[in-house]
């Protein structure tokens, strides 16, 4: 019988994809074994905590991706304006132009939110905070920066919901364009509102 030695970390992206596609309850161990290619034995060898640990690992990797690809650039970039543009590019790519769903957002709506409360909250709090930081450094006054950041994150999540509901991924790209130009306008000397 074939024996392909796998690593724990190799399985995590597949796990994230399965949870994204089926939700936490909907992702049964049989579908997980199928999509990851790992048998129950291997799965429980790598994740002794079962489904919960698998989901935690998936959330962790997603968070890590956003931290390095989005949050840290927003916080540390020399040019906050281009960091913001990069954010929209990264986000569009990550969510496959609206045809992929946000696992964290889906968990937030689900009743399993309580089990992953800290990870779910941190993801959104960090996103809002990092974006507000970039806006502030780009010259946006403090309170407006926080409001604009919140508005942007809200728009991204809402666009994912509506795009998927209507089967129209374009909703996502349209929304991204709209909020991006609103952000850039707000930090272009003239104030919004």
Partner DNA sequence: CATACTATTTACCGATCGGTACAGAAACGA
Partner DNA sequence: TCGTTTCTGTACCGATCGGTAAATAGTATG
Give me 16's structure tokens: 């994230």
Q: State the Cα–Cα distance between residues 59 and 38, nearest whole angstrom.
A: 19
Phi-psi region of 50 (alpha: psi -120 to 50; beta: other; left: phi over 0): left
Backbone angles phi, psi at 2, to 5 degrees: -65, 150
By rule CB under 8 A, what string of x and - marks binding of each residue 48-67 to its own copies? --------------------
Closer of 1 and 165 to its own copies (Cβ): 165
Draw the binding track, 67-106, toward its own copies (x: CB under 8 A; -: no contact): ----------------------------------x--xxx
CA 82 to chain centre: 20
Give the nearest distance from C-beta 62 to DNA in angstroms. Answer: 20
Torsion-angle region of residue 51: left (phi > 0), alpha (psi -120 to 50) or beta?
alpha
CB contact at 8 A, 27 and 51: yes
Q: Which does 76 bind (CB under 5 to 8 A by kind): DNA, its own copies, none?
A: none
Which of 24/123 has CB closer to DNA? 24
Residues in contact with its own copies by CB under 8 A are 21-23, 25-26, 101, 104-106, 108-113, 117, 120-121, 123-125, 147, 150-151, 153-162, 164-167, 171, 174-175, 178
């Amino acid at each position: 019988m074939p024996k392909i030695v796998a690593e724990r970390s190799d399985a995590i992206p597949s796990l994230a994809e399965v949870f994204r596609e089926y939700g936490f309850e909907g992702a049964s161990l049989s579908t997980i074994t199928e999509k990851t290619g790992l048998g129950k034995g291997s799965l429980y060898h790598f994740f002794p905590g079962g489904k919960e640990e698998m989901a935690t690992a998936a959330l962790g990797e997603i968070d890590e991706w956003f931290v390095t690809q989005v949050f840290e650039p927003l916080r540390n970039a020399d040019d906050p304006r281009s960091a913001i543009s990069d954010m929209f590019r990264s986000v569009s790519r990550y969510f496959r132009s609206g045809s992929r769903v946000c696992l964290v957002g889906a968990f937030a709506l689900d009743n399993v939110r309580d089990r992953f409360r800290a990870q779910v909250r941190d993801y959104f709090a960090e996103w809002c905070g990092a974006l507000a930081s970039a806006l502030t450094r780009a010259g946006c006054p403090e309170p407006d920066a926080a409001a604009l950041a919140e508005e942007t994150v809200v728009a991204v999540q809402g666009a994912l919901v509506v795009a998927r509901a209507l089967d129209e991924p374009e909703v996502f790209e349209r929304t991204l364009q709209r909020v991006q130009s609103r952000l850039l306008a707000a930090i272009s000397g003239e104030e919004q509102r």
